[in-house]
Structure 1
Amino acid sequence: MTSDAVITTWQQAFEENRVPQIRAIEKNLRARAARNKEKLRNTVGGSYRELLATAEAIVSLQAKAKVAEEHLASISHNCRPPQQDVSPRPPSADKVALAQMRLLQRCCTTSATALRTRDLLQCAQLVVISRLLLKSLGDQQEGLNLASSLELLRNKIAMLRRQLLRQVDSKLVNPVSSRSDLVEALCSYCLVTSVSAEDALSHCRQLRLDKLRRWLSQSADRTIICQALRYQLASLQTFKSVAGRPLTDAMNGLQKRPILDGPALKDLETLDLDRTWPLLPKEIKTFVPYFKRSVSTPDATQAALETWSQEASHLLSGAMDGYLSSVKDMTAVLELRKELYTTLLPSYFSTPAGMDIIQEIRWSLNQRLSGICQAKGLQLTELTRRLVEGVTTSTANKPKLLWDDELVQADLGNTGVSRSGSRFIKQVKNRHAGLNLVLAKASKRMDAWISSANATRDEINQLPKIRWRDIIEEPEEEDDQEDQAAALVRELCETDPESYTKALRESLHEALEDYEKNMIQTASTIINDGEISNPPSDGNINIIQAVTLLRSIRMSLASLHQAFPGESQKLLVSLDNIITDLNRVIANEVARQLSQALQRKRRGATTSGNGNGNSNSSNRPKPKLNTSAPSHLPDGMPSPTAFSTLRTLCKIMLDLGGTDLWSPPAAMMVKDAVRHQIFETDDAGKTKSLYTVTEFDEAYLGAALSDNTNKAPNQVEADSKAMDTKTSQKAAAVDYWTRTKLLFGLLA
């Protein structure tokens, strides 16, 4: 084995060396271990001896120091001064008064600072101490020249007290004040006014009620009403959280130690109590505030909160009534309803007198919503009155012709093509429907009213879809409050919408009855006046009114049938008879005007045949009226007289009723009236010559005035083949009418 070889394990030694070498290695290792042990023993022994010597030196020094201290103590004892009398002596009255005056001035300054920093409780404590100092100095002012200074400080303290009370009131009525701030403000109020906790709470409730009253009396709009409700609910929750233990514990904490001994004032550097404390009277240093004790049970507290809530609810209800009385829009009221309920229901069960609040709100809302529903019917009554006025003033407001100069020459480029074009189309529609200015406005109002009524009905139908159960506060008592929640949701989702629907339905029912009554009464008056003035004169006002009334009924009845199919079908049945009577009156007038027009034409032809202004004209023979068939007419063709009769009839119908009035029943009544006047009157033989010349004319007019306007051509041909007498002539007349009826549009 070499000297520089390193053996790490015994396996390595046996693997690399022989047994003699291994024995030599073992011997060397044992010798080395022995040397190391001896060296370690020598080193430890020397260190231990040095440590013992150090300890002995420390003990010796400690003994010497003790002897020196005893020697110094004896010297100090021998050098002390002689004993003196150190018993306390009472301070002089001047020093006591000056100390109190100094503390009073510092209390005034510190109180003003506390007011600026909104530290109400500290300011209240300083005001209490200041009043004690004023009383003490007032008793000691004899012999001291402090009267003017005390009066000045007394006024300053009174002013600080008023400012403090104003800040306390402001804190009490602030809806965002925390519970700790309110408790501090109430304690400050009790300190300054020496009232009980219950009196302070009553003062707080009165302040908040007065604030509600001021809010709602100044401007009661939707925003103010919702804010007032939120303020009322927040106040009730605040009263619940403050009343009882929190306020009692805070006031008891003020009575645990004297005011000046508390940390709030004792550590104030501005008071400098370290210098004035020994000179202060004992009654000031040990003053503990006293509060009037009043025991209030939970039931009494709950009753007080419910009373306050009822008073606030009355104020809110009155403001809502005043605001809702000016609201005519159903949507605005329903939005207010949703906002109020959404505000109240999340805290319904935890709010004292929550049921009273919601009942007050619900009553006001239901009253107004029912009133709006009833007003919908009154609006129809007002529209009916305007329609009747339009009938009575129809002679002064005649409908304009469809294509007169004003409409044809209308400029569509003044205010934009789309706007002018829509106005042009509207004018064309109104003139085509025969509506004068009054009826056009009434039609517009009727459409607006129907849209409003339908919108109101749709909004009421949407109310049950609001999920109030998801909004209402979860009940704590499973049985009683769960039933209350279910009943409340049922009232809001079922009872209230049903009452609104019932009010709207009853209002519409009464309005439709009034509409029918007024229309029947007006029509009866027109018909009776027409019968009394029979035979009526040309241009009879009653006929114009009858036409206008018929248009009014047609316009309004169509809208009402479309908007309220159920109610109108049940209530407006009697108007069908009135429409028939009016159509009959108009048909008789058409027949009368036709007869007069043909008579005037006959007289005009006779006058022109006689001549004018010639002296020899009297000697000329009068021409005979051609009552036979003109020789130039082919067979199977009506004479110009018959053709002119139908043209005149169409012109009279167009002038009297326009193109809108002649429904198939109305046109059939005209045909019946004219046919009766031509063929069925007592003097038909005398007047027939006004209408016809030939027998073919009679057949032609008979075909034109018969009830075959809705028949197909093949059906007319089949009917014509079934005639008994003069079959060929009548068939030819019917066939000719079938081919020419489109020339007479109102009769076709």
Structure 2
Amino acid sequence: RDKGEELVLAARLYVLGRLLVKSFGEGAGGKEVAVPRRGLETVHQARLARGIDAVLRSGSEKAMREGHVVKALSAYSLATSSGARDVLAHFLRVRAKAIAMALEVDAEERPAPVRNPKDVLRALGLYTKTILDVQALVPHKLTEALFALKEERLLENAALKEMEGLRLDVYGRWCGDEIHFYKPFIRHDDLDLKQAREMLAGFADKGSDVLLHGLEKTLEGMTEFKAIVELRTSVLRLWIAEGGKARGFDPSEMLDRLRAAINTHMLRVLEAKVAKLRLIGSEVSAALNAWREGATDKHRALWDVSSLDTELAHGAASFAQDVVARLHGRGDAVSKAVAGYRSWFRVIDDVGQVVDQLRRQRWDNDVDEIEDEETIEERQRLLARDDPAALGAHLDRLLIDAFRRLDDQLSTLWTARRAGPDSGAVATYFLRLLRDVRARLPELENPAVRGFGLAAVPSLHEALAAAVAVAPLDEFVTGALARRTVVGRGLWEGSEPALPGLPSPGAFRFLRALAVAMGDAGGDLWSPAAVAVLKRQLARQVGEAWLEVLGSLVVREQAEEDGKEDKEESGDEDEKEESEKEKGEEDIKASSNAGHQDLLIQWLMDVNYLQLFLGTDSDSLKDLAEAVYQKSGLEAASKERLGKAAQDYFKRTSLLFSLLA
């Protein structure tokens, strides 16, 4: 005996018990049957109802196929004397309650209910199965089953007769006519097709609302894009496979509502994920607020082996990462911000891959080949083209806006620190951060993304160049340019006149100090644009400082000449007395003038040499070279010899200052 037959038998027993209790209650022993009556009306009735509802809410294909559902409905009708209409209404109530329980729509009162995405599929399966089951039951199966119950007297049922505990063959004769001739009074014909359709339509409308509400609540707890897409795929495939089987329903309406609910949540999740890019700006702001010179901007040297993690027990990945971080000058402050950006980028990159996955999905209904090509193509267009396109377009808009906001935030932070005493170190921090962020930008052609951070780069390079050049330039001006004697004058080559073949030690030390300062700041910073800014600044500053020194030298010479003329006009009164003294002073002046000329020649060599490093197109250095040349008294051929000597020495020494070359 199967589950359905057991329920029908239990319903017959319940009806028999009710009739017996009623018959006893009419006689003298009414008080003695009060307890059995209460037990029958509470315990046994509730147990029977639970068994019936368990079969009805299961939604099992096997239960429907083997007739368990029809028999359970027959048992309900028998136990409650319900007609076909009431039986169908009860069936729809049980299924509606089962759908609500699966989705936990009554769990609002509980704090943060944990919802399983599989429950959505189970509820949707119950929803579609209910519609199909009702259309299978009405108008024939249910009516025929209820009619069969009316045809047979209760005590003539074979299953009741077979129960040894009842002993109907013995005790049946003691039953009254009301029991002996009892047939269930059931309205099997009180449900027509129109009423059934209206009841089913009401269930479908309310059930779809419950389903969508439960789907939305389930989606609220889902933030992983892949999980959301998996649920989308499962839900839509289930509805495509089952929703089209029901007669009289347009499956596209429910499909659109399911799509809308899922798409809305995906857009919300997308907005939340993209918006986290602002945390990079917050991290930068926090680093600047906690900035400590010499600590925040500190980065470990590449060859500082003492602090290098050489433990390779767990592989070389951490060692390689440490080396790359040092090579790129990433200190703790830069590493924190870059790590945050890379985590964010991985999430957004995964979203992009999911969108591509949506575009590749096929939405054919392979279960039943009952759809025309036009329907399939329309669904494919909606699910595999329109939805991914809308999602991708929204993602692009969010990314453009997020990068524009981050760019504005970083520009504001840099502007606030640009004039500070630590602007060089802060510029270094921003340059490294922007470089690593720009190394992994989303693949968008919008200027807000492709041009991220570029507007601030020139000012960052200027601050970096100013910070790096200040010490070498000060040392050069106060040291080399203040010197009035030529070191290595005896090494000059040629005759008429002899010319230097190499720059002065001061010029060489200046380039050396500059290269060391650039290396200390970080070799990773010196892109061609940064080097060009440094050269341009240095060329201007060196030219201005040197011209000032040259001007003071010229003023000094002019003062000496003026003094000489004044003495010649003073007369010859003390001429004899001071002749010997003046002769000595003239020798000193001649020697001084020769020294000044040698200094100017050496300066011209130094200027030519520095021009090759700092830029031959610099107007400041060109003006300086021309001014020194005019004061040196050299001929054009000698000037050309100096230029060639500077070029030869540059070829031999340029690799010593590779960051500048």
TM-score higher than 0.5 here?
yes
What's 1:553 paired with? Answer: 434
Deviation at 1:728, TM superposition (A): 0.9
2: distance between equivalents of 1:598 and 1:629? 15
Q: Note closer, same or farther for the CA distance 1:362–1:473 as it changes in structure 2 (3 Å cut).
A: farther
What's 2:660 paired with? Answer: 747
What's 1:90 paired with? Answer: none
Output the TM-score relative to the length of structure 2: 0.79
Identity of aligned residues (%): 23
Deviation at 1:492, TM superposition (A): 0.9
What's 2:463 paired with? Answer: 585
What's 1:644 paired with? Answer: 509
Alignment of 1:299-448 (within 5 A): 299-351=194-246, 352=249, 354-391=251-288, 393=290, 395=292, 396-403=295-302, 405=304, 407-413=305-311, 415-416=313-314, 418=315, 421-448=316-343
Q: Is the 8 A contact 2:281 2:409 kept in 1?
A: yes
Q: SS of the counterpart of 2:216?
A: helix
Cα displacement string for residues 316-337 of structure 1 (whole angstroms, at most 9, x for unaligned residues): 3233323323333221111111
Within the candidate set 78, 101, 121, 2:8 is matched to 121
Q: Note closer, same or farther for the CA distance 1:130–1:625 as it changes in structure 2 (3 Å cut).
A: closer
Cα displacement string for residues 376-433 of structure 1 (whole angstroms, at most 9, x for unaligned residues): 431333224434544555544223232364x4453523643x2xx3212212211221
Q: Is the 8 A contact 2:24 2:30 kept in 1?
A: no
Q: Which amino acid aligns with 2:642?
A: Q
Alignment of 1:660-699 (within 5 A): 660-681=524-545, 683-685=548-550, 694-699=603-608
Q: Note closer, same or farther for the CA distance 1:280–1:382 as it changes in structure 2 (3 Å cut).
A: same
Q: Is the 8 A contact 2:102 2:123 kept in 1?
A: yes
Matched, 1:464 2:359: yes
Q: Note closer, same or farther for the CA distance 1:342–1:627 as it changes in structure 2 (3 Å cut).
A: same
Q: Is the 8 A contact 1:175 1:235 kept in 2?
A: yes
Cα displacement string for residues 674-726 of structure 1 (whole angstroms, at most 9, x for unaligned residues): 221122356343799999964322222222212599xxxxxxxxxxxxx9871
Q: Note closer, same or farther for the CA distance 1:306–1:116 as it changes in structure 2 (3 Å cut).
A: closer
Within the candidate set 430, 434, 445, 1:566 is matched to 445
Deviation at 1:638, TM superposition (A): 1.6
2: distance between equivalents of 1:303 and 1:485? 29
Matched, 1:256 2:151: yes
Deviation at 1:229, TM superposition (A): 2.1
Q: Which amino acid aligns with 1:654?
A: G
Matched, 1:705 2:614: yes
Q: Which amino acid aligns with 1:490?
A: R
Deviation at 1:222, TM superposition (A): 1.9
Alignment of 1:191-202 (within 5 A): 191-202=78-89
2: distance between equivalents of 1:252 and 1:724? 128
Q: Is the 8 A contact 1:115 1:123 kept in 2?
A: no
Matched, 1:658 2:515: no
1: distance between equivalents of 2:501 and 2:155? 132
Cα displacement string for residues 166-191 of structure 1 (whole angstroms, at most 9, x for unaligned residues): 21122222222335211211122122
Q: SS of the counterpart of 1:638?
A: coil
Q: SS of the counterpart of 1:683?
A: helix
Q: Mean Cα displacement is larger for which, 359-368 or 243-252?
A: 359-368
Q: Note closer, same or farther for the CA distance 1:597–1:194 as it changes in structure 2 (3 Å cut).
A: farther
Q: Note closer, same or farther for the CA distance 1:285–1:516 as it changes in structure 2 (3 Å cut).
A: same
Q: Note closer, same or farther for the CA distance 1:301–1:679 as it changes in structure 2 (3 Å cut).
A: same
2: distance between equivalents of 1:208 and 1:200? 12
Within the candidate set 211, 215, 235, 2:102 is matched to 215
Q: SS of the counterpart of 1:732?
A: helix
What's 2:423 paired with? Answer: 542
- Unpaired runs of 5+ residues, structure 2, are 105-112, 493-499, 554-595, 619-635
Deviation at 1:672, TM superposition (A): 1.9
What's 2:640 paired with? Answer: 727
Matched, 1:134 2:21: yes
What's 1:631 paired with? Answer: 489
Deviation at 1:575, TM superposition (A): 4.2
Q: Note closer, same or farther for the CA distance 1:693–1:376 as it changes in structure 2 (3 Å cut).
A: farther
Q: Mean Cα displacement is larger for which, 350-359 or 500-509?
A: 350-359
Q: SS of the counterpart of 1:178?
A: helix
Within the candidate set 142, 147, 161, 2:45 is matched to 161
2: distance between equivalents of 1:154 and 1:207? 27
Matched, 1:496 2:387: yes
What's 1:43 paired with? Answer: none
Deviation at 1:514, TM superposition (A): 1.5
What's 1:170 paired with? Answer: 54
Deviation at 1:733, TM superposition (A): 0.8
2: distance between equivalents of 1:230 and 1:691? 96
Q: Is the 8 A contact 1:183 1:250 kept in 2?
A: yes
Deviation at 1:343, TM superposition (A): 1.9
Q: Is the 8 A contact 1:195 1:291 kept in 2?
A: yes
Output the TM-score relative to the length of structure 1: 0.70
What's 1:5 paired with? Answer: none
Q: Note closer, same or farther for the CA distance 1:370–1:684 as it changes in structure 2 (3 Å cut).
A: farther
Alignment of 1:63-212 (within 5 A): 119-141=6-28, 146-147=29-30, 149-158=32-41, 159-176=43-60, 177-178=63-64, 180-212=67-99
Q: SS of the counterpart of 1:566?
A: coil
What's 2:405 paired with? Answer: 514
Q: Is the 8 A contact 1:394 1:548 kept in 2?
A: no
Q: Note closer, same or farther for the CA distance 1:664–1:465 as it changes in structure 2 (3 Å cut).
A: closer
2: distance between equivalents of 1:313 and 1:577? 53
Q: Note closer, same or farther for the CA distance 1:633–1:725 as it changes in structure 2 (3 Å cut).
A: closer
- Unpaired runs of 5+ residues, structure 1, are 1-113, 531-539, 604-623, 710-722
Deviation at 1:271, TM superposition (A): 3.2
* Count of matched residue positions in the alignment of Structure 1 and Structure 2: 576
Q: Note closer, same or farther for the CA distance 1:191–1:552 as it changes in structure 2 (3 Å cut).
A: same
Cα displacement string for residues 362-385 of structure 1 (whole angstroms, at most 9, x for unaligned residues): 122101222233334313332244
Q: Is the 8 A contact 1:376 1:507 kept in 2?
A: no
What's 1:243 paired with? Answer: 138
Q: Note closer, same or farther for the CA distance 1:557–1:275 as it changes in structure 2 (3 Å cut).
A: closer
What's 1:594 paired with? Answer: 472
